[in-house]
Structure 1
Amino acid sequence: MKNSVLGLAGLLAVACLSGAALAQESVLRVAGNGDVSTLDAHRASATNDKTVVGWIYNGLVRFKPGSADPQEIEPDLAERWETSPDGKVWTFQLRKDVKFHGDWGTLSADDVVYSLQRSADPKRSTFSSDFAAIEKVEKVDDLTVRITLKYPDVNFLGRVSNYHGGHIVSRKAAEELGDKFGTRPVGTGPFSFVEQVTQQYVKLAAHPGYFRGKPKIDTINIRVIPSDSARELAFTSGELDLMYGKREQRWVDSARKRPGFNVEIFQPGEFRLLHINRSQPPLDDVRVRRAIAAAINVDDLVRFVGKDVGPKGCSVVPPGYLGEDCTARYAFDLAKAKALLAEAGHKDGITVKAIVSNISAQQPFMEIIQAQLAKAGIKLEMQVVDHATYQSQTRKDLSGLVFYGAARFPIADTYLSEFFHSRAIVGTPTAATNFSHCAIADKEIEGARTAADSATQKALWKEAQAKIMADVCAVPLFELRQVWARSDKLDFGYDLKGAMNLAPMLTEATTLKR
C-alpha cells in the first residue's frame, strides 16, 4: 500500500512539473488582416508577408528596433564595414558563428554572396531593380564580403538592410528547396518557421541559436482574421496579444478609450496612389486621366482617415522621402473634370473598371473615390475581392484603376523605380508594380542613380516627378501609417516609432506577461 501511495505521489509530482513547464511557455498570439502568400524574403512584398519575414531574417545591417530612420542603421549580420573613398567598394566583415534555423548550418560569405545575387535576379526576386547599382559581389574569405558598385549609391546601406532584398537566406536551403523555399523559409532571425495553414495561421518558434540570445517568447501564432470586427472581438476577449488595427481616426480615438488597448501608430506609412492604367482605353487619353485627377478630392479622403493616421501627399514620391518635390500638384476641380471629358469626346461620361481589395485599408477609400468620380460623369465599376485575389489580378493587368499602398526605403529612387520605370511594368519579365504602364521618365530615373553629386540627383528626381505628374500616371492620395494594438502584457523591449516591415519588430528582448 505504501509503495502504491509513493508511486501515485511520484506521478502527481511529474504531472505538476509538466504542467508548470507548460504554463511557463510564452506564446504570443497575433492577428493580421490577411493570409501570408510567401515567406521567401526576396519575393515578399505584400504587407502580411513583410510582417512575418521581418521576424525570420536578418540583413547585413539593420534599422534599430523601433525605428524606420536611415540615420539609425546599425550592424546586423555584419559587425563592421568599410567604404572606399569613391563610395563604390564596400567591404563587410561578418559575425562569427551565426546559426541558421534548424539544421542548415552556420552563416558564411557564400550565403551573403548568394543572397545578394539572388536579390538582383529578376527571375528570383521582386526587388531586382533595387540592386541595379551592383557590379559584383565577391567572397574575400569565409567571413568577408566585398561588393563593388557601378556607381556610388546613396541608398546602398538601405538595400542591404533587414528590408526587402537585403534579407540574407541560407544558400543551401534555398537551392535544395527551390520553389518550396517560400513555404519553408530559412533565415538567421530571432524566430524560425514552424508551419503554415493557408487562410488560418502561421506558427513561428524562438530560434535557440540566435546570435543576440534566445528570445524570451517561445512561440508566435499569427492568425488570419480578415474581419476588423472579428479581430477586435478576439483582442477584447483576451484571445490576442497583438493585432493589426483599423487605420481610421475614429477607430483609433475609440480604441484609446478602452481598457487594455494600447494603440501604436508608427512609420513608415504606406503611401496611397491611385494608378491609372494607360494601356486601357479610354484611359490611354491623357485628357481622361487629367479628368480623373481633377475629380478626386483628396482632402475628403484625408478627413476620413484622420490627422494621426493619414497625412496628405502632394507628389508621386511619398511625403518626407529624400527627393520628394511638390512643384507639380493636382487640384480638385469638378468643372474642369467634366470639361476635359467632353473635350476627349465623352460628354456623356465614361465607365472604368477596377479590382478592389475588401480590406478596410482599401475598400472604404475606393467607395469614396467612386462617389467622387460619379459627380464628374465617371462611373467606377468595382469588383471587390479578397486581398490575395486583388494582388494577383492587378498584377495581371486586369484593372483600369489600381489603389495601391506601399512603404519603401525613404528615398525617391525606390518609389520611382518600382512604380514608374518601364522595367517595372506589370506583365513584363522584370515586372514590379508599375500598374500604370508609365514609361515617361526612365532617362531621369536612371540618370539620378549615377549622378555625380546630390544637387544633380535631386534635380533629376524633380524632373522625373514633373513628367510623371504631367502624364497623370497616378494620383497621389495620402500616407496611411501603421496602426496596431497591443495588450498591457506585451512589452516590445523598445520605444516603437517606426518599423520597415510594417509591423512591430519582435526581438529577443520582447516579453509577454501571463
Structure 2
Amino acid sequence: MAIRSHKQNQKKGTKMQFNITRRNFNLALGTVALVAPSGFVRAAEVADKQTLRYGAATDDITTLDPHFAVSSGELEVIDACYEGLLKFPDGQVTSNGLEPGLATEWNVGNDGLTWTFKLRKGVQWHDGHGEFTAEDVKFSLERVKDAKTASPFSDSFAVIASISVVDPYTVQIKTSEVEPSLPALLVNYQAGYIVSKRAADAGIDFKTRPIGTGPFIYKEYRPRESETLFGNSAYWGGAPTVQQFTVLFMSDDSTRELALRSGDVEAIELPARQDAVDRMREAGMTVDLMSPANTFSMLFNLKQKPLDDIKVRRALAGAIDRATLVKFLGKDVAAAEVSPPANWLSGAHGRRALCTV
C-alpha cells in the first residue's frame, strides 16, 4: 500500500516529497498509519534539512532482494529503490485505477491471453547500470517464476506461460488461462518489482546491494543500526526534494514513539492498536490508517458433518457478531469482511502503524 507524504515548504513554496510504500508489514496485527506530530516537528524544518529519518520496528534486516523481502526495515528501502511495470494509486491497495509505472500503457489481445506492455523510455538504473529495457522485465519475471530462485512470491506468476521481448521497449506476456487481474500482479509489490539484468550478470548481489530505477539510491548499511538512501537526481519522475532517507532500526515500540516525540526521527512505525492510535491523536498527531492488511477468516471443512450442510454453515456465519468484534479490536484498526479478498491482496501479512510529520 503506497504512502506518499507531501508537506508544503512554506519558505520556498515547494513540496517535500517521498515514498514510503508499505503493503506487507509481516506482523501479527496492525495497519499502516501515518501520524503527523505537528506540535513537535514542523514539516518546513524537515523540508529545509531535506532529510527524513524513519524508525522501523526491527533489530536488523535479512535481505534487500525485492523478490524475497517481507519484513520491516526492508520494504521501506525496496519500495524507495525499486519499481514495477504498474503501480497502485497513492495510499491504496486496489486493482481499480492502476497507474503507469515502468510501463506507460498495456492491453490484452482478443484471445484474452496475450498481454502487451509498452515500456517507459530513457529510464536509468542506479549506479550506472544502463537503461531499463524489456530484457530487464523478462529477466525479472522469469527470475520470480523459476523454482530454482525459490522466491516466496513465485505462485503469483503461476498463470504466466511465457514472457517475450518484442523490442527494447515492448514486452509480451502470455497466460495459460484468462487472467483479467494480471496487471495487478505487476505492480510495485513483491513479485512485481523489476531488477536489473545487467547488474545481475555483473555479479551484483541484490540481497545486500539494491539496484533499482526508483527515486532513491541505496548508499549505506550499518548492521543493527541503520540504512541510508540518497535522492536520485536522475529519476524519471523528477528528483525528490528529500535528499536523504535514513531507516533507523528500533525494535521497541516505546523507543520509537519517544524518538518521534523528541524529534530524533520524523517518522515511525507502530502496531496498529486502538489505544496507540488514540494516544497519537491525543498528542496532536494525524494518524492515517492504511488497508487492506491481515484478514482473519473462519474456514469450513465441507467434507465433515455437520459442516457439509449449508444450513449449518449459514447459521454459524449468522452467529458471528462482526460489530462486536470490530468494537473489541477498535473501530479505527478493524473492519468487518464478509468474504476474504483475492489471494494477491491477502498476501499483505500485517497491518502496521506508520507515524510521520
Task: State the AA in 1 paired with 2:63.
Answer: T
Task: State the AA in 1 paired with 2:249.
Answer: V
Could you tell me how far apart the structure 2 residues matched to 1:29 and 1:247 are? 20
In the alignment, what sits opposite 2:179? 153
Distance change (3 Å), C-alpha of 1:107 and 1:480? closer
Task: State the AA in 1 paired with 2:61.
Answer: V
1:482 is displaced (CA, Å) by: 3.5
1:37 is displaced (CA, Å) by: 2.0
1:67 is displaced (CA, Å) by: 2.0
Could you tell me how far apart the structure 2 residues matched to 1:274 and 1:220 are? 41
In the alignment, what sits opposite 1:409? 344
Identity of aligned residues (%): 33
Secondary structure of 1:181's aligned partner: coil
1:480 is displaced (CA, Å) by: 6.0
Does the 8 Å contact 1:26/1:216 carry over to 2?
A: yes
Task: State the AA in 1 paired with 2:123.
Answer: V
In the alignment, what sits opposite 1:466? none
Where do 5+ consecutive residues of structure 1 fail to align? 1-22, 276-285, 287-296, 323-407, 419-478, 488-514
In the alignment, what sits opposite 2:10? none
Could you tell me how far apart the structure 2 residues matched to 1:234 and 1:176 are? 40
Secondary structure of 1:243's aligned partner: strand
CA deviation vs aligned residue, 1:119-159 (integer Å, no higher than 9, x gap): 11133222111111111111111111111111111320111
Could you tell me how far apart the structure 1 residues matched to 2:350 and 2:202 are? 39
In the alignment, what sits opposite 2:194? 168
CA deviation vs aligned residue, 1:366-386 (integer Å, no higher than 9, x gap): xxxxxxxxxxxxxxxxxxxxx
Alignment of 1:70-219 (within 5 A): 70-124=95-149, 125-177=151-203, 180-219=205-244
In the alignment, what sits opposite 2:289? 265
In the alignment, what sits opposite 2:253? 228
Does the 8 Å contact 2:56/2:72 carry over to 1?
A: no
Q: Among 90, 105, 117, which residue is 1:65 paired with? A: 90
Alignment of 1:323-402 (within 5 A): none
Could you tell me how far apart the structure 2 residues matched to 1:86 and 1:174 are? 34
Distance change (3 Å), C-alpha of 1:119 and 1:134? same
Does the 8 Å contact 2:73/2:247 carry over to 1?
A: no
Could you tell me how far apart the structure 1 residues matched to 2:330 and 2:71 are? 24
State whether structure 2 residue 241 is matched by structure 1 residue 306. Answer: no
Task: State the AA in 2 paired with 1:148.
Answer: K
Could you tell me how far apart the structure 1 residues matched to 2:105 and 2:134 are? 14
State whether structure 2 residue 318 is matched by structure 1 residue 485. Answer: no
Count of residues in correspondence between the two structures: 293
Task: State the AA in 2 paired with 1:146.
Answer: Q
Task: State the AA in 2 paired with 1:231.
Answer: R
In the alignment, what sits opposite 1:237? 262
Could you tell me how far apart the structure 1 residues matched to 2:156 and 2:282 are? 43
In the alignment, what sits opposite 1:379? none
CA deviation vs aligned residue, 1:184-220 (integer Å, no higher than 9, x gap): 0111011111122222111111111110111111010
1:174 is displaced (CA, Å) by: 2.2
In the alignment, what sits opposite 2:51? 27
Could you tell me how far apart the structure 2 residues matched to 1:300 and 1:188 are? 46
Distance change (3 Å), C-alpha of 1:274 and 1:240? farther
Where do 5+ consecutive residues of structure 2 fail to align? 1-46, 300-304, 306-320
Q: Among 24, 41, 51, which residue is 2:76 paired with? A: 51
Task: State the AA in 2 paired with 1:409.
Answer: W
Does the 8 Å contact 1:268/1:482 carry over to 2?
A: no
Could you tell me how far apart the structure 2 residues matched to 1:247 and 1:298 are? 19
Could you tell me how far apart the structure 1 residues matched to 2:96 and 2:104 are? 17
Distance change (3 Å), C-alpha of 1:273 and 1:50? farther
Could you tell me how far apart the structure 2 residues matched to 1:198 and 1:272 are? 35
Higher relative contact order (CA 8 A, sep 6+): 2
CA deviation vs aligned residue, 1:287-343 (integer Å, no higher than 9, x gap): xxxxxxxxxx9998755531211235566x3xxx25xxxxxxxxxxxxxxxxxxxxx
Task: State the AA in 2 paired with 1:247.
Answer: A
Q: TM-score, normalised by structure 2?
A: 0.75
Could you tell me how far apart the structure 1 residues matched to 2:256 and 2:106 are? 44
Secondary structure of 2:206's aligned partner: helix
Q: Among 63, 66, 75, which residue is 1:41 paired with? A: 66
Could you tell me how far apart the structure 2 residues matched to 1:250 and 1:480 are? 18
- What CA RMSD, in Å, does the superposition of the two structures yield over aligned residues? 2.9
Task: State the AA in 2 paired with 1:156.
Answer: L
